[in-house]
Copies of this chain bind each other. A is one copy, B any other.
Amino acid sequence: MKMLINVPETVVSDALRGMAAVHPELTVDVERRVILRRDAPVEGKVALVSGGGSGHEPLHGGFVGPGMLDAACPGEVFTSPVPDQLVRAAAAVDSGRGVLFIVKNYTGDVLNFNMAAELAEDEGIQVASVLVNDDVAVMDSTHTAGRRGTGGTLFVEKIAGAAAEQGAPLERVESIARRVNDASRSFGVALSACSTPAKGGPTFELPEGELELGVGIHGEPGRERRAMMTAGEIADFSVDAVLEDLRPSAPVLVLVNGAGGTPLLELYGFAAEVHRVLRERGVAVARTLVGNYVTSLDMAGASVTLCQVNDELLRLWDAPVRTPGLRWGC
């Protein structure tokens, strides 16, 4: 497997050097692996910190900026960041109004964020945490007890980020983040495995004529393998899997997310099918985002995330955001 890298050992550092060179609006500590808003700490503002294994870009580093995250801590590829990174990030962004940790539900992340929260509290930083566990595909998995955190993370970071930007106190930002997670559900499919730099090849085997329904963002096994399906059939299966668990009584935000290796041309065709299924099921769509946002390196495939919103959450979704990966209204 050919990759556009120097050596596997420096992939994350090299990417951070690139972010530092390209984004003057961010402060990137390449050595300590912390990405900050240049203007952090922002006076009077609750700070949002997230992070996780690398390989899901633009999540999380590409979501640092006004209206979204104050800091992100990338771990090695598909490996949690360590508590030291997270504490350093929390200290750098805390304005005195407290810090919200946004944690995807993987065993390593939960452990490290929890430890970091304790250490930060010891340093006098008020920390709240919200766990993202939106993936309906499976309960428990290779890296997870309970449900995995996937595309819903984008909704949590954007909407809670808008609330924080507007001056909401920590308790309220936390409760909004929790509400968004509770209202979000995801389901993903893989058409091909992804290849990590360390392994130098595919992380799992997926035969030519099959797809994996319910795959995780590290290629964790899903619900089942089947013979290859059309975009329409995949949309039916994915949306129905989500709707079995979330029966929206209000309009939804839709994320049609690429796994990384699927062309935008295909993602838009898939989005058309997702909209068709939602229409057939009587679900109203408020907004749709199509693109590669929560990726799995070069994996071919896609996921659908729905998030039921009321007027307040929709206003926060529409609020200005200015990050490398998500940007509107400013």
Asked if residues A298 and B262 are in contact (CB atoms below 8 Å), the reply is yes
* In the assembled complex, A54 has its CB within 8 A of some CB on chain B: yes
Chain A, residues 4-15, CB within 8 Å of chain B (1/0): the string is: 111100111011
Contact-size category for A = 35 or more
Distance in angstroms from A72 CB to nearest chain B CB is 13
Cα distance A15–B266 when bound, in Å? Answer: 7
On whether A18 and B268 interact (CB within 8 A), knowing A298-B261, A298-B263, A327-B328, the answer reads yes
From B14, B208, B232, B273, contact of A268 by CB (8 A): B14
Cα distance A84–B155 when bound, in Å? Answer: 42
Most buried by B among A208, A256, A298, A322: A298
From B7, B14, B263, B275, contact of A295 by CB (8 A): B263
From B4, B21, B57, B266, contact of A288 by CB (8 A): B21
Q: Secondary structure of the A side of the interface?
A: mixed
On whether A5 and B300 interact (CB within 8 A), knowing A14-B269, A272-B21, the answer reads no
Asked if residues A292 and B292 are in contact (CB atoms below 8 Å), the reply is yes
Asked if residues A211 and B22 are in contact (CB atoms below 8 Å), the reply is no
Asked if residues A192 and B295 are in contact (CB atoms below 8 Å), the reply is no
On whether A268 and B22 interact (CB within 8 A), knowing A2-B300, A263-B295, the answer reads yes
Asked if residues A234 and B4 are in contact (CB atoms below 8 Å), the reply is yes
Copies in the complex: 2
Chain A, residues 279-293, CB within 8 Å of chain B (1/0): the string is: 000000000111010
From B10, B288, B297, B298, contact of A22 by CB (8 A): B288
Cα distance A191–B5 when bound, in Å? Answer: 11
Asked if residues A228 and B275 are in contact (CB atoms below 8 Å), the reply is no
Chain A, residues 253-267, CB within 8 Å of chain B (1/0): the string is: 000100011111111
From B17, B58, B232, B328, contact of A272 by CB (8 A): B17
Cα distance A16–B290 when bound, in Å? Answer: 13
* In the assembled complex, A271 has its CB within 8 A of some CB on chain B: yes
Cα distance A307–B275 when bound, in Å? Answer: 39
Cα distance A208–B200 when bound, in Å? Answer: 12
Provide 10 A-B residue pairs closer than 8 Å at the C-beta atoms, listed in order of the A residue.
A4-B234, A5-B266, A7-B230, A14-B231, A15-B268, A15-B269, A22-B271, A261-B298, A262-B298, A263-B298
Interface residues of A (CB under 8 A from B): 2-7, 10-12, 14-22, 54-55, 57-58, 62, 77, 191-192, 208-209, 211, 228, 230-232, 234, 256, 260-273, 275, 288-290, 292, 295, 297-298, 300-302, 322, 327-328, 330
